[in-house]
Amino acid sequence: MDLRSLTASSSLPMGHETSIAPDCILRTNELSLRYGSHLAVDRLSLTVRQGEIYGFLGRNGAGKTSTIRMIMGIVRPDQGSIDFGGQTTRRIGNTQKRLIGYVSQEQFFYPWMSCERLGKFVGGLFPTWDTKEYDRLLTVLELPPNRRVSHLSGGMKVKLALALALAHRPEILILDEPTAGLDPVARREFLDIIRKQAKEHGRTTFFSSHLIDEVERVADRVGIIHRGRMQFEGPLEELRQHVREITQSELLEPPMATELGLRFLRHGLDERESLLFQGTPDAWNAASDRGIQSQSLSLEDAFIALASEDVGKI
């Protein structure tokens, strides 16, 4: 069966919204970033809504950190723009940065500073810095104020980064794989804090991860990136509806898949004799009407289907 034609379906990821949602707080428009000849991010668009927890999923090297560094204004996109803080710009400036709380993948704090001293230094750069809140966060996160950064464990450093990111009461919290390197307990604690922050303070949170269970635990919506391109953006349940498995591949002729609006993703997982497709619920209903039976996938399988190396290839 020639499935090559199935890959010619819409390049826009399913669930992607083309118009700005009224409650949108952050939006990237066709962001691209190239490192030499390597295209790290390819015309990536995403939308983060007010108050939601947005899980940015992708494999290692998919372009998550590059995207976040562009959103943070650390690197300048080669093309595209960012809507944030009421402005559309290629690269966000210091004024907009002050509205963001950021936790990077690795923490490079000054080792000679204590938690308290670090708070004073960072606080001086944010007009909205709340020292009481920072002290409270240190207490809640069980961080000794007078302990030097060099004497903190990896988990404690991530917590410290979170305290620093929250204490100036940002409009959005951006976390770049914050739990990488943490043990399961610390990871769970960290995610609980994130969830609590969102629940109690309505804090918009954008966090990247390559762990589907962690995203599943806290995210309202997800964006899945692969090879720098957005594969899917929407609620988690929608992901399950969009990515399904067809075992009766002989029934699905190539013209029919295109006609139905289904996009071939890959061959079945775990060496199953099946094909994985991506499509809207309407497309799947139409397929069902033609006698093609499909099965839903676990979130992990759906993620793997979208984030596999051979997406769109036979």
Pairing of strands 24-35, 79-84: antiparallel
Answer for which of 4, 87, 111, 201 binds another protein (CB under 8 A) is 111
Q: How many positions of this chain bind another protein (CB under 8 A)?
A: 24
The stretch near another protein (CB under 8 A) out of 72-80, 178-186, 227-235, 296-304 is: 72-80
User: Tokens in use for 240?
Assistant: 């399950």
- Work out whether 76 is an interface residue with another protein (CB under 8 A): yes
| Using rule CB under 8 A, residue 202 touches another protein | no
Instruction: Rule CB under 8 A: say whether 109 interacts with another protein.
Output: yes
> Quick check: 169 binds another protein (CB under 8 A)?
no
Binding another protein by CB under 8 A: which of 54, 56, 84, 102? 102
| Segment contacting another protein by CB under 8 A, of 102-110, 139-147, 219-227, 296-304 | 102-110
Interaction mask 229-268, another protein, x per CB under 8 A: ----------------------------------------
3-state SS track over the chain: CCCHHHHHCCCCCECCCCCCCCCEEEEEEEEEEEECCEEEEEEEEEEEECCCEEEEEECCCCCHHHHHHHHCCCCCCCEEEEEECCEEECCCCHHHHCCEEEECCCCCCCCCCEHHHHHHHHHCCCCCCCHHHHHHHHHHCCCCCCCEHHHCCHHHHHHHHHHHHHCCCCCEEEEECCCCCCCHHHHHHHHHHHHHHHHHHCCEEEEEECCHHHHHHHCCEEEEEECCEEEEEEEHHHHHHHEEEECCHHHCCHHHHHHHCCEEEEECHHHCCCEEEECCHHHHHHHHHCCCCEEECCHHHHHHHHCCCCCCCC
Assess 108 for contact with another protein (CB under 8 A). yes
Stretch that binds another protein, among 22-30, 53-61, 95-103, 206-214 (CB under 8 A): 95-103
The nearest distance, CB 152 to another protein, in angstroms, is 14
- Does the protein bind another protein through residue 97 (CB under 8 A)? yes
Rounded CA separation 146/237 (Å): 45
Q: Is 95 in the site for another protein (CB under 8 A)?
A: yes
Check: CB of residue 306 under 8 Å from CB of residue 232.
yes
Show the site string, 116-155: x = touches another protein by CB under 8 A, - = not: -x---xx-xxx-----------------------------
Q: How far is the CB of 124 from another protein (least distance, A)?
A: 4
Q: Which of 16, 34, 90, 98 binds another protein (CB under 8 A)?
A: 98
- Closest CB 104 distance from another protein, rounded Å: 6
Q: Contact positions toward another protein, by CB under 8 A? A: 72, 74-76, 94-95, 97-98, 102, 104, 106-113, 117, 121-122, 124-126
